[in-house]
Amino acid sequence: MSFTIAEQEKGHQNEVPPIVIGKLSISPLKESDLEDLLPFCEKEIGAGYYNKESLFELLCLSYHKGFVCSFVGRDIETNKVGAVRLTTIAGSMDTTQKGHTPEEWRVHPLEVGYFKSMFLAAEYQGSGIGGQISRLSLEKLKLQGAKAVLSHCSLSSPNGSSRRYLQKMGFTPVQEHEGFWADIDYLCAHCYKKPCTCKALEMILYL
Ligand SMILES: CC(C)(COP(=O)(O)OP(=O)(O)OC[C@H]1O[C@@H](n2cnc3c(N)ncnc32)[C@H](O)[C@@H]1OP(=O)(O)O)[C@@H](O)C(=O)NCCC(=O)NCCS
């Protein structure tokens, strides 16, 4: 990376005041959030899914010319992390990985950003907050020049919430992938199995 995160944190994004959505204050992700973010991810996604290094790498892949496409939500009263939207910019995704079918996408793979993980703590789910935070990421991806964004939604999320919130945003299905997360050495917070047995639906939104 040719920039330092310290430079980035002095950059444009800190001039933007947080956006309040419901009981959450939403800000672009910063390096100083990662310490609080890791235990949140351990609980909501699963133990071992991320570590400090992989979260830092995602922060770097989320950065483009003074802005960050990923967001964190903190409770306005307690300041506890209650939401995360991890997004990587177009051109940063390894499309040779399993579960990616670029031949089905209508744009060049290098023009596709990635919705990596979106998690809300249970008390904030079901009020449309996931979509509102994700739209902040979409605005940044458009500024970056992305022509589409890809996501792998879990077909095991409660009441199909993952697929449903993406559908509401206009994502369309590409293909289902069995065992999409099975190669990751973590204990899934949804199926509670190791390896994870959750099935993913690859979905795409054209911007
Ligand atoms: C998926 C998620 C980000 C969606 O954000 P959200 O703000 O809750 O989205 P919405 O309020 O638009 O909910 C989408 C639908 O799921 C339903 N839903 C959301 N959370 C639910 C829950 N905990 N139990 C049952 N239904 C739920 C909503 O009622 C809504 O139904 P509708 O389509 O009939 O309106 C959020 O619910 C979440 O973090 N879920 C757990 C983690 C997860 O599955 N993440 C995605 C992993 S790929």
Question: DSSP string spanning 69-82?
Answer: S-EEEEETTT--EE
- C-alpha 62 to ligand 1 mean position (Å): 24
pLDDT at 4: 55
Locate the ligand 1 atom nearest the alpha carbon of residue 119 and give its number: 39
Ligand 1 neighbour 13 (Cβ under 6 A): no
List, in sequence order, every residue forming a beta bridge with 84; answer none if it has no partner. 72, 119
Angle at Cα 116 formed by Cα 114 and Cα 122, nearest 5°? 140
Which position has the token pair 């390096």?
Answer: 31
Specify which residues 26 forms β-bridges with.
19, 73
pLDDT at 181: 96
- Whole-angstrom CA distances from 168 to 37, 51, 73, 131, 162 are 27, 31, 21, 8, 10
Which of the four pLDDT bands, split at 50, 70 and 90, describes residue 1?
very low
Least confident interval from 10-24, 46-60, 82-96, 160-174: 10-24
Is domain 5-206 annotated with CATH 3.40.630.30?
A: yes
How much of the chain exceeds pLDDT 90, in percent?
89
pLDDT of residue 142: 97
Pick 135 or 7 by higher pLDDT: 135
Handedness of CA 4, 5, 9, 12 (dihedral sign): positive
> Per-residue pLDDT for 15 more than 70?
no
SS3 of 64, please? strand
pLDDT in tens, 93-109: 999 999 999 999 999 99
Instruction: Kindly report the average pLDDT of the chain as a whole number.
Output: 93
CB of 157 shorter than 6 A to ligand 1:
yes
CB 30 less than 6 A from any atom of ligand 1: no
Whether 41 contacts 52, CB under 8 Å: no
Q: pLDDT tens across 176-195, in order? A: 999 999 999 999 999 999 99
- Is pLDDT at 110 greater than 90 in this prediction? yes
Residue 3 has pLDDT above 90, yes or no: no
Q: How confident is the model at residue 5 (pLDDT cuts 50, 70, 90)?
A: low
CA of 150 to the centre of ligand 1 (A): 18
**How confident is the model at residue 149, as a pLDDT?**
98
Of all protein residues, the one whose alpha carbon is nearest to atom 24 of ligand 1 is 158
What global pTM score does this model have?
A: 0.93
Reduced to 3 DSSP states, what percent helix, strand and coil does the chain have, rounded to the nearest 5?
A: 35, 30, 40
135 in Cβ contact with 169 (< 8 Å) = yes
User: How far away, in angstroms, is 95 Cα from ligand 1 center?
Assistant: 27
Q: Tell me the pLDDT tens digit for each residue of 21-72.
A: 999 999 999 999 999 999 999 999 999 999 999 999 999 999 999 999 999 9
Q: Phi, psi at residue 68, to the nearest 5°?
A: -120, 135
Q: Is the dihedral of CA 40, 121, 83, 151 positive or negative?
A: positive
Whether the pLDDT of residue 197 is over 70: the answer is yes
206: left (phi over 0), alpha (psi -120 to 50) or beta: beta
Spatial contact of 196 and 184, defined as CB atoms under 8 Å apart = yes
